[in-house]
Amino acid sequence: MDVAAIAKEIKREDMLQMYHYLRLTRALEDRVTALYRQGRIVGGVYTSHGMEAIAVGYASALERDDVIAPYHRDMGAFLIRGFTTGEILAQYLGKRTGPTKGKDGNVHMGDLRRGVFGFVSHLADNLPVAAGAALAFKMRGESRVVFTGTGDGGSSRGDFHEAMNFAAVRKLPVVFFCNNNQYAYSTPLRLQMAIPNVVDRAKAYGIPGEIVDGNDVAAVYLAAKRAIAIAREGKGPTFLEFKTMRMHGHSEHDPAKYVPRELLEDWKKKDPILKAERLLGELGYGEESYFQRVAERVKSEVEAGVEFAEQSPLPEGPEMLEGVFADGADSY
Amino acid sequence: MDVAAIAKEIKREDMLQMYHYLRLTRALEDRVTALYRQGRIVGGVYTSHGMEAIAVGYASALERDDVIAPYHRDMGAFLIRGFTTGEILAQYLGKRTGPTKGKDGNVHMGDLRRGVFGFVSHLADNLPVAAGAALAFKMRGESRVVFTGTGDGGSSRGDFHEAMNFAAVRKLPVVFFCNNNQYAYSTPLRLQMAIPNVVDRAKAYGIPGEIVDGNDVAAVYLAAKRAIAIAREGKGPTFLEFKTMRMHGHSEHDPAKYVPRELLEDWKKKDPILKAERLLGELGYGEESYFQRVAERVKSEVEAGVEFAEQSPLPEGPEMLEGVFADGADSY
Amino acid sequence: MVTTAQITEEVSYLEAISQALDEEMARDERVFLMGEDIGTYGGAFKITEGFLQKYGEWRVLDTPLAESGFVGAAIGAAMMGLRPVVEMQFADFISCAFDQITEVAAKNHYRWGAAVPMVIRAPFGGGVHGGPFHSECPEGWFFHSPGLKLVAPSTPYDAKGLLKAAIRDPNPVIYFEHKFLYRRIKSALPKEDFIVPLGKADVKRVGNDISVITYGAMVHLALDAAQALTKEGIDLEVVDLRTLIPLDKETIYSSVRKTSKVILLHEDNKTGGIGAEIAALLAEDCFDCLDGPIVRIAPPDTPVPFSPPLEEFFLPKASDIVSAARKLAAY
Amino acid sequence: MVTTAQITEEVSYLEAISQALDEEMARDERVFLMGEDIGTYGGAFKITEGFLQKYGEWRVLDTPLAESGFVGAAIGAAMMGLRPVVEMQFADFISCAFDQITEVAAKNHYRWGAAVPMVIRAPFGGGVHGGPFHSECPEGWFFHSPGLKLVAPSTPYDAKGLLKAAIRDPNPVIYFEHKFLYRRIKSALPKEDFIVPLGKADVKRVGNDISVITYGAMVHLALDAAQALTKEGIDLEVVDLRTLIPLDKETIYSSVRKTSKVILLHEDNKTGGIGAEIAALLAEDCFDCLDGPIVRIAPPDTPVPFSPPLEEFFLPKASDIVSAARKLAAY
Ligand SMILES: Cc1ncc(C[n+]2csc(CCOP(=O)(O)OP(=O)(O)O)c2C)c(N)n1
Ligand SMILES: Cc1ncc(C[n+]2csc(CCOP(=O)(O)OP(=O)(O)O)c2C)c(N)n1
Ligand SMILES: [Mg+2]
Ligand SMILES: [Mg+2]
């Protein structure tokens, strides 16, 4: 896609804001990784390093009352929905001030008031749930949309199939994506599926599919916009395959020796932040000094978060007894 | 397909034998239905009425040491594998002489020694199991094949997805079929899937698919032969969609008022036995008097079965305690 | 039990369920139904007959054959403010949705605070020659899954009142309706709106000698046994749990404190069944008031067999309760 | 426990599991492994490290991310004469294969006579800050599913011997291996082939006053508590169930007949846990020999919380056993 077209289709402020969130995601996750290496994080760390453009792109394309049921490398989506760096770091540190109050860890956070569903470890489990949220919107005649997805690995699960099929039959306003980062933990695509592209799965449901450069935030944003528009018009789900590469190990303890180094070298050149900076330059929206300013801004945002999280109290033991049952039901 | 080609590709005795099994299936199931109406059957009755060509065709195309993991309207497969009418009727009457000794009912029978897996009610559950049997054959370098399937309804289940995908990735010697009889219980295809043909699901796994006239026993047989050959050559699974129509209710208690009468009238003309007789006539293999002789033969086979079953003892209560655990493991 | 003046004509257990659904759908437009064949066909047991015509295909949603998918969808819809009531065609198929129920629905509120107000209707139980896949009592699994509420009515009154309460509850509730009772029991119901609150057991027969603690179809077996034992002067108290989670310990304990002897009766397999939990609670909390061993009556640890003599042997019988009661009385 | 002269160097619980797999694969070519990331990566916990190189990609099969699919495939392969050992990456994900395990594997032999000789390895349990989805103890569900055998070793010796026995058993066996123990306990093992037969509990500490009946990681907690209580003159007997199904009632009963007092201890949620069943068995079969209430120590009915203070509060502690034992001793 050429720069002129992008200039026409994406507002300057949106482009700049996406760049901000790319940098913020990177800075936050890098900081989490550093804390992990220092042994200060409780539990595992799964990052979106090198894949930040996906969540940043799609979450930017949604309206405020649309709903996100994120997958496990969608940090950008939380940030865009207003989860602060402090809250998120508190979550990683098991603090009471995290979105789950210490009940759950890392990316397993959600908040109905901000329209983000809590991630469920069991991969693809949130896809039927997302379809159900879309069903509610359709039944009530609201023009809201749900965005959800899974990894290449998660696309092998039965719930993926049941969700996509149900959404297709009822033409629900939901967009499914796949973050195809070439690996499920250590398992390469060839041991996961016998198709060249995950998007081929969409044919089983009769829904449109599209392959998108997952490292190009503008491409992600525009593809998401198109799919969201289709959904909002009542024309049903779309499946977007975001091609990308997992640049870190599966989680931060994993050196990922099973990934060929050349593959990583190749993809390093396609880093989403580099790409975005190139694009911003071409659009005339910003250059090196601007990028530096953003880098500094997000750095201080992250450091403020670290301070907040570290100063936050841990929960007290008996708090774990609370909340098994609800007294009343909010909704979004 | 023209008659000359069929004459070349299907042996006369095979054609005649398939005709025999079509008639036997029909006669047996009609008798079960009659017994059901008289209140003499224990539990429900699901028939393959009008769809007999599918099981008869595919089971005839298999070799003796291939394995069948049938779906719930595959009576012909049991008969071809040597389940006698007596055993089968004993199963429907809950007798000790049925294949499950009264532990389970109706089509929920199986026998490892005869290479037929017991049907599991939970639809599509047997698909991963079938893939696993094929995995065993592949691992041991045996040239055996597994044949399994489900209904249009069952194709919506997650296990369908997981089984097909796994079999495709490992190029397992298994053939999957779908009996597309237009309805899952009362649910028409349009509420089950947003694709014109169930075979479109095969595209999600990268395996070849074919649409076959499920009421034409020769077509079923030849398609099955092709798919089996592919599997046996180590080239992996195939998906066959057998188009047909459920001519009775979902089970014999169901008047199926939700099915348009014209649809049934249309399909009645395509009855698999009529079709087979027309073909036999064209092939010069038999005519009316021969058909009558077969009808009489299968009738007496069925009546002998009824007598056997009725004279068989019911199990004694305490027998229900036996068999939860195995002492040793046979295999096929 | 029925304390109101306004009484309808006799209503079956099945009709009571149907009425509860109908009234809740009329009362609250957020309530909708999902499941296989519940629309045009009216459900395998005809509980939702006529609902499609009345409420339309978006409130009576025939789904593809995909239990995990539609239970998951119910969770999502519930979080968005709707009140889904999902039907399992048979309780047995709930295994296909197990992951969504235990990992998503049950843990959602605990993990991140979003309530999941939904009901799963599960027609369960044997005695209908359904065999291993159409007779199961799956409540034991979910009894051990924190975050779910479980209900299992034994009468039309409870069936109606508990379903309404379940629909109004902000949590995921599994509603076990016993297939054997559908058309076999009837009673008159109040005309006006009523609920039976979750978490309250009901003493279906007051007695002094032995407490039989049970639920579902077995309640009627216990009442039969109690009847039979009157001539022997053994006076059974029959406690119908009605709600399995949260368990009404108070009613259980006060019955046992009175009688000092207990029979735990259920149709679900014995090992790891709900009777085990109640025995454990009593053996810890009411140890001093027990005057005899805690007796469990439940089927052996096998699938539900198909053939009538096998199934009869499998299921608890009134005579089992009678002989256990005699022994306990003599203890 | 180890009675042989030939002893290896100290082996961790994790290495014991690894050895069992390796030896069984070498001994019996029908044995093969399936699971996510068990090949190239050697498994999330590195139990099968090096196996791919040694046995090739058809005996160490990396699967797609599809638990129901590969458990189902294991069932089919088992029926065809192979001996699959399936790895859940975490026991928590077993919910995704629940239907295949309970409806197909467990009921197959009962329904139509085909044995399903397979093992599912399930790394379970908390104490590792895994949170609600990486710390579960799912054994309670399967304890209530007739047709399955369940195993949960607490030592390297049992881990190795039970896994070998499980692989050689003609039934579906779920093997619960406790993540917390993987690298935390070591012991010397016999050099020659040995098994620990399924169905036999083991008295890990002989004592006279109170029986603590437990399994898995909690065995070590019980031993710690026993140690602490010696100075108070309270003598705990620690019974390690090792096999959960079939349950070794004989060993349980004979311990309780000796001590007359019981603590049931497990890490799985309290309500409907295995402790409930044992309490019920004792309250029925050993009622007369009980000299005090049957005490259960188990986590409350919540998911496993993530944050360290919350998880610590959730998990049973040695001090819980100590105080329960004191009370019981004084009873
Ligand atoms: C049902 C289930 N099985 C196993 C796991 C363990 N697990 C966590 S992430 C992962 C790999 C996921 O791969 P993919 O879906 O491609 O996402 P990626 O991590 O590559 O972004 C696995 C196997 C899980 N979370 N859920
Ligand atoms: C998992 C599961 N859910 C529900 C059912 C109940 N049920 C039995 S057959 C059937 C319809 C099956 O439709 P289809 O697969 O098209 O096969 P058909 O009966 O039309 O041949 C249903 C819903 C079941 N057996 N399994
Ligand atoms: Mg991936
Ligand atoms: Mg059909």
pLDDT in tens, C67-91: 999 999 999 999 999 999 999 999 9
pLDDT digits (tens, 9 = 90+) for B106-115: 999 999 999 9
* The two structure tokens encoding residue A128: 């039927």
Q: A325 in a domain, yes or no?
A: no
Total domains present in chain D:
2
What is the domain-level CATH number for residue D109? 3.40.50.970
What is the domain-level CATH number for residue A234? 3.40.50.970
First to last CA, chain D: 33
Q: C12 in a domain, yes or no?
A: yes
Q: B52 in a domain, yes or no?
A: yes
Q: B327 in a domain, yes or no?
A: no
Name residues whose C-beta falls within 8 Å of residue B249's C-beta, 6 or more positions apart in sequence: B255, B256
Domain that holds residue C108: 7-190
How does D55-72 read in b/e, with b if 16+ C-beta sit within 10 Å? beeebbbbbbbbbbbbbb
DSSP A320: G
Going by CA atoms, what residue is nearest to atom 2 of ligand 1? Answer: A122
Residues D222 and D172 in one domain: no
Q: C64 in a domain, yes or no?
A: yes
Residues C170 and C210 in one domain: no
* The two structure tokens encoding residue B244: 């047909």
Whether D64 sits inside 8 A of A193 (CB atoms) is: yes
pTM above 0.80, yes or no: yes
The sign of the dihedral angle between the CA atoms of D138, D144, D147, D149 is: positive
- Whose structure tokens read 């053996």? C283
Pairing of strands A187-188, A183-184: antiparallel
Ligand 1 is surrounded, with C-beta below 6 A, by A 73, 121-123, 150-154, 179, 181, 183-185, 246, 250; D 36, 65, 67, 89, 93, 96
Give the C window 262-281 contacts with B, CB below 8 Å.
Answer: none
Residues C170 and C139 in one domain: yes
Residues C160 and C19 in one domain: yes
Show which subunits contact B, needing at least 3 CB pairs below 8 angstroms: A, C, D
pLDDT digits (tens, 9 = 90+) for D30-82: 999 999 999 999 999 999 999 999 999 999 999 999 999 999 999 999 999 99
Q: Using CB atoms, which residue from D66, D104, D115 is nearest to B166?
A: D66
Give one word for C238, left, alpha or beta, with left for phi > 0 and alpha for psi -120 to 50: beta
Instruction: Give the separation between CA B243 and CA B245, rounded to whole angstroms.
Output: 7
Domain boundary residue, one of C190, C225, C250: C190
Residues C237 and C145 in one domain: no
The helix, strand and coil proportions of chain A, stated in percent and rounded to the nearest 5, come to 50, 10, 40
Q: D186 in a domain, yes or no?
A: yes
Instruction: Give the separation between CA C308 and CA C318, rounded to whole angstroms.
Output: 17
Q: Residue A2's pLDDT is what?
A: 86
Domain that holds residue A106: 3-312
- Whose structure tokens read 């306004």? C6
Min distance A170 CA to chain B CA atoms (Å): 8
Mean pLDDT of B316-332: 95
Q: A330 in a domain, yes or no?
A: no
Q: Residue D5's pLDDT is what?
A: 55
Residues D87 and D161 in one domain: yes
Q: Quick check: B98 and D112 in contact, CB under 8 A?
A: no
pLDDT digits (tens, 9 = 90+) for C292-312: 999 999 999 999 999 999 999
Residues in chain C: 331
Residue B1 in this model has a pLDDT that exceeds 80: no
The better pLDDT of the pair D8, A201 is held by: A201
Mean pLDDT of D179-199: 97
Tell me the CA distances in angstroms from A94 to A40, A306, D78, one per residue in order. 10, 13, 43
Q: Residue C5's pLDDT is what?
A: 55
D134 is catalytic: yes
Whether B15 contacts chain D with CB within 8 A: no
Residues D117 and D25 in one domain: yes
| Angle subtended by helix axes A217-232 and A272-283, to nearest 10 | 90
pLDDT digits (tens, 9 = 90+) for D88-106: 999 999 999 999 999 999 9
Three-state secondary structure call for residue B96? coil
Q: Quick check: D269 and D299 in contact, CB under 8 A?
A: yes
- Cis peptide bond upstream of D309, omega within 30: no
Q: C303 in a domain, yes or no?
A: yes
Please pick, among D109, D129, D134, D266, the residue that the annotation labels catalytic.
Answer: D134
Q: Using CB atoms, which residue from C64, C111, C171 is nearest to A326?
A: C171
Residue D1 in this model has a pLDDT that exceeds 50: no
Residues C12 and C160 in one domain: yes
ipTM, interface predicted TM-score of the complex: 0.98
The sign of the dihedral angle between the CA atoms of B71, B72, B78, B79 is: negative
Whether C144 contacts chain A with CB within 8 A: no
Tell me the CA distances in angstroms from C305 to C137, C319, D145, one per residue in order. 13, 20, 15
How does D12-30 read in b/e, with b if 16+ C-beta sit within 10 Å? bbbbbbbbbbbbbbeeeeb
Chain B neighbors of D74, CB-CB under 8 A: 132
Please pick, among C109, C129, C134, C220, the residue that the annotation labels catalytic.
Answer: C134
Helices (H), D185-232: 218-230
* Residue A330: CB atoms within 10 Å: 13
Name residues whose C-beta falls within 8 Å of residue A262's C-beta, 6 or more positions apart in sequence: none
DSSP C154-216: -SHHHHHHHHHHHHHSSS-EEEEEEGGGTTT-EEEEESS-----TT--EEEE--SSEEEEE-T
Q: Residue B103's pLDDT is what?
A: 98
Going by CA atoms, what residue is nearest to atom 9 of ligand 1? Answer: A185
Residue D3 in this model has a pLDDT that exceeds 70: no
Q: B282 in a domain, yes or no?
A: yes
Q: Residue D2's pLDDT is what?
A: 46
Whether C69 sits inside 8 A of B314 (CB atoms) is: no
Total domains present in chain B:
1
Instruction: Give the separation between CA C312 and CA C306, rounded to whole angstroms.
Output: 10
* The two structure tokens encoding residue A214: 């997952």
Mean pLDDT of C195-204: 98
Residue B143 in this model has a pLDDT that exceeds 80: yes
Of chain C, the percentage scoring pLDDT greater than 90 comes to 97
Q: D249 in a domain, yes or no?
A: yes
Q: Report residue C2's pLDDT band, with 50, 70 and 90 as the boundaries.
A: very low
Q: Residue C303's pLDDT is what?
A: 98
Residues D229 and D181 in one domain: no
Chain A neighbors of B123, CB-CB under 8 A: none
Pairing of strands C119-124, D186-190: unpaired
Domain boundary residue, one of D190, D218, D233: D190
Give kind and range of the element (H or E) at residue A127: helix A126-140
Q: B324 in a domain, yes or no?
A: no
Among B88-92, C6-10, C254-258, D263-267, the least confident range: C6-10
Residue D7 in this model has a pLDDT that exceeds 80: no
Q: C266 in a domain, yes or no?
A: yes
Q: C2 in a domain, yes or no?
A: no
Q: D197 in a domain, yes or no?
A: no
Q: A173 in a domain, yes or no?
A: yes
pLDDT digits (tens, 9 = 90+) for D113-150: 999 999 999 999 999 999 999 999 999 999 999 999 99
Chain A neighbors of B193, CB-CB under 8 A: 165, 168-169, 205-206
Residues D179 and D223 in one domain: no
Task: Report the nearest atom of ligand 2 relative to the CA of B157.
Answer: 1
- Cis peptide bond upstream of B318, omega within 30: no
Domain boundary residue, one of C190, C219, C243: C190
Whether C104 contacts chain A with CB within 8 A: yes
Which residue, among C208, C191, C206, C210, has the nearest Cα to C265 in the 3D structure? C210
pLDDT along chain A (332 residues), means of 10: 91 98 98 97 95 98 98 98 98 98 97 97 98 98 98 98 98 98 98 98 98 98 98 98 98 96 98 98 96 98 98 98 96 88
What is the domain-level CATH number for residue C322? 3.40.50.920
Q: Report residue D8's pLDDT band, with 50, 70 and 90 as the boundaries.
A: confident
Residues D233 and D102 in one domain: no
Q: A234 in a domain, yes or no?
A: yes
Residues C95 and C207 in one domain: no
Q: Quick check: B277 and B284 in contact, CB under 8 A?
A: no
